[in-house]
Protein backbone atom coordinates (compact mmCIF):
# COMPACT_ATOMS: atom_id res chain seq x y z
CA UNK A 1 0.00 0.00 0.00
CA UNK A 2 1.32 3.46 -0.91
CA UNK A 3 1.64 6.18 1.67
CA UNK A 4 1.89 9.92 1.22
CA UNK A 5 5.32 11.42 1.54
CA UNK A 6 5.84 13.39 4.74
CA UNK A 7 5.41 17.16 4.44
CA UNK A 8 8.02 19.47 5.87
CA UNK A 9 6.84 21.42 8.88
CA UNK A 10 6.36 25.12 8.22
CA UNK A 11 7.08 27.46 11.08
CA UNK A 12 4.19 29.76 12.00
CA UNK A 13 4.60 33.20 10.51
CA UNK A 14 6.79 32.05 7.64
CA UNK A 15 5.47 31.45 4.21
CA UNK A 16 6.79 28.51 2.25
CA UNK A 17 9.27 29.44 -0.42
CA UNK A 18 10.94 27.68 -3.28
CA UNK A 19 14.34 26.08 -3.19
CA UNK A 20 16.93 28.53 -1.88
CA UNK A 21 20.39 28.07 -3.30
CA UNK A 22 21.89 30.95 -1.30
CA UNK A 23 21.47 31.83 2.36
CA UNK A 24 19.23 34.60 3.67
CA UNK A 25 22.34 36.71 4.27
CA UNK A 26 23.35 36.37 0.62
CA UNK A 27 19.87 37.41 -0.52
CA UNK A 28 19.91 40.43 1.80
CA UNK A 29 23.35 41.42 0.53
CA UNK A 30 22.21 40.95 -3.07
CA UNK A 31 19.31 43.38 -2.53
CA UNK A 32 21.93 46.03 -1.84
CA UNK A 33 24.85 45.08 -4.10
CA UNK A 34 22.91 44.48 -7.33
CA UNK A 35 21.22 47.93 -7.40
CA UNK A 36 24.56 49.61 -6.63
CA UNK A 37 26.30 47.79 -9.49
CA UNK A 38 23.39 48.53 -11.84
CA UNK A 39 23.55 52.17 -10.74
CA UNK A 40 27.25 52.38 -11.55
CA UNK A 41 26.65 50.90 -15.01
CA UNK A 42 23.71 53.26 -15.55
CA UNK A 43 25.69 56.31 -14.41
CA UNK A 44 28.60 55.42 -16.65
CA UNK A 45 26.25 54.96 -19.59
CA UNK A 46 24.53 58.31 -18.95
CA UNK A 47 27.85 60.12 -18.62
CA UNK A 48 29.12 58.53 -21.84
CA UNK A 49 25.97 59.56 -23.70
CA UNK A 50 26.26 63.11 -22.36
CA UNK A 51 29.83 63.78 -23.53
CA UNK A 52 29.06 62.78 -27.17
CA UNK A 53 32.51 61.17 -27.64
CA UNK A 54 34.36 64.26 -26.39
CA UNK A 55 37.01 64.38 -23.68
CA UNK A 56 36.36 63.04 -20.21
CA UNK A 57 36.03 65.88 -17.68
CA UNK A 58 35.52 66.13 -13.95
CA UNK A 59 31.97 67.41 -14.44
CA UNK A 60 31.22 64.40 -16.59
CA UNK A 61 32.47 62.05 -13.85
CA UNK A 62 30.45 63.95 -11.23
CA UNK A 63 27.34 63.70 -13.42
CA UNK A 64 27.85 59.94 -13.78
CA UNK A 65 28.31 59.44 -10.03
CA UNK A 66 25.24 61.51 -9.14
CA UNK A 67 23.18 59.66 -11.74
CA UNK A 68 24.40 56.33 -10.34
CA UNK A 69 23.54 57.42 -6.79
CA UNK A 70 19.99 58.45 -7.69
CA UNK A 71 19.39 55.31 -9.78
CA UNK A 72 20.67 52.99 -7.04
CA UNK A 73 18.67 54.77 -4.32
CA UNK A 74 15.44 54.56 -6.31
CA UNK A 75 16.07 50.92 -7.19
CA UNK A 76 16.72 49.99 -3.54
CA UNK A 77 13.57 51.86 -2.49
CA UNK A 78 11.48 50.00 -5.08
CA UNK A 79 12.92 46.65 -4.02
CA UNK A 80 11.92 47.34 -0.42
CA UNK A 81 8.53 49.02 -0.95
CA UNK A 82 7.36 47.21 -4.09
CA UNK A 83 6.44 43.83 -2.57
CA UNK A 84 4.11 45.57 -0.09
CA UNK A 85 2.04 47.10 -2.91
CA UNK A 86 -0.87 45.55 -4.78
CA UNK A 87 0.17 43.82 -7.99
CA UNK A 88 -1.24 46.54 -10.28
CA UNK A 89 0.49 49.36 -8.43
CA UNK A 90 3.68 47.30 -8.12
CA UNK A 91 3.79 46.81 -11.89
CA UNK A 92 3.00 50.49 -12.57
CA UNK A 93 5.76 51.69 -10.23
CA UNK A 94 8.40 49.47 -11.84
CA UNK A 95 7.16 50.44 -15.32
CA UNK A 96 7.40 54.14 -14.48
CA UNK A 97 10.91 53.68 -13.07
CA UNK A 98 12.07 51.72 -16.13
CA UNK A 99 10.48 54.10 -18.62
CA UNK A 100 11.91 57.17 -16.89
CA UNK A 101 15.36 55.58 -16.71
CA UNK A 102 15.43 54.74 -20.43
CA UNK A 103 13.91 58.09 -21.38
CA UNK A 104 16.62 59.88 -19.38
CA UNK A 105 19.38 57.83 -21.03
CA UNK A 106 18.05 58.59 -24.49
CA UNK A 107 17.66 62.29 -23.63
CA UNK A 108 21.40 62.48 -22.83
CA UNK A 109 22.21 61.50 -26.41
CA UNK A 110 21.74 63.90 -29.32
CA UNK A 111 18.23 62.55 -30.02
CA UNK A 112 15.15 64.77 -29.72
CA UNK A 113 12.85 65.03 -26.71
CA UNK A 114 10.05 63.31 -28.60
CA UNK A 115 12.26 60.33 -29.40
CA UNK A 116 13.36 59.99 -25.78
CA UNK A 117 9.74 60.23 -24.59
CA UNK A 118 8.65 57.62 -27.12
CA UNK A 119 11.45 55.28 -26.04
CA UNK A 120 10.51 55.74 -22.36
CA UNK A 121 6.81 55.13 -22.96
CA UNK A 122 7.53 52.06 -25.11
CA UNK A 123 9.79 50.53 -22.48
CA UNK A 124 7.31 51.38 -19.71
CA UNK A 125 4.46 49.68 -21.59
CA UNK A 126 6.50 46.54 -22.16
CA UNK A 127 7.71 46.38 -18.55
CA UNK A 128 4.17 46.90 -17.26
CA UNK A 129 2.75 44.12 -19.43
CA UNK A 130 5.49 41.69 -18.41
CA UNK A 131 5.44 42.47 -14.69
CA UNK A 132 1.65 42.57 -14.39
CA UNK A 133 1.47 39.12 -15.95
CA UNK A 134 4.22 37.84 -13.66
CA UNK A 135 2.68 39.30 -10.48
CA UNK A 136 -0.80 38.15 -11.50
CA UNK A 137 0.33 34.56 -12.05
CA UNK A 138 2.41 34.40 -8.85
CA UNK A 139 -0.28 35.55 -6.39
CA UNK A 140 -3.46 33.97 -5.09
CA UNK A 141 -6.88 35.67 -5.03
CA UNK A 142 -6.07 37.56 -1.80
CA UNK A 143 -2.83 38.98 -3.22
CA UNK A 144 -0.45 36.74 -1.25
CA UNK A 145 2.60 35.54 -3.13
CA UNK A 146 2.86 31.90 -4.05
CA UNK A 147 6.18 30.50 -5.14
CB 42 within 8 A of CB 66: no
136 vs 96, which has greater pLDDT? Answer: 96
> What is residue 43's predicted lDDT score, i.e. its pLDDT?
94
pTM confidence score:
0.78
Q: Quick one: pLDDT band at residue 51, thresholds 50, 70, 90?
A: confident
> What is residue 9's predicted lDDT score, i.e. its pLDDT?
57
How many helices (H) and strands (E) would you count in the chain?
4, 0
Angle at 97 between CA 91 and CA 103, to 5 degrees: 130
Q: Which residues pair with 139 in a beta bridge?
A: 145
Between the CA of residue 9 and those of 6, 12, 15, 24, 64, what are the distances in Å? 9, 9, 11, 19, 49
- For 32-63, b/e burial (b = at least 16 CB within 10 A) is eeebbeebbebbeebbbbbeeeeeeeeebeeb
Amino acid sequence: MAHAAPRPQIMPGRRPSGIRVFSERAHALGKLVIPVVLGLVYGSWAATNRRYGGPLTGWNILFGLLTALVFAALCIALLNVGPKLRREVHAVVWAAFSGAAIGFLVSQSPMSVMESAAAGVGVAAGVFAFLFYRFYTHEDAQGRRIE
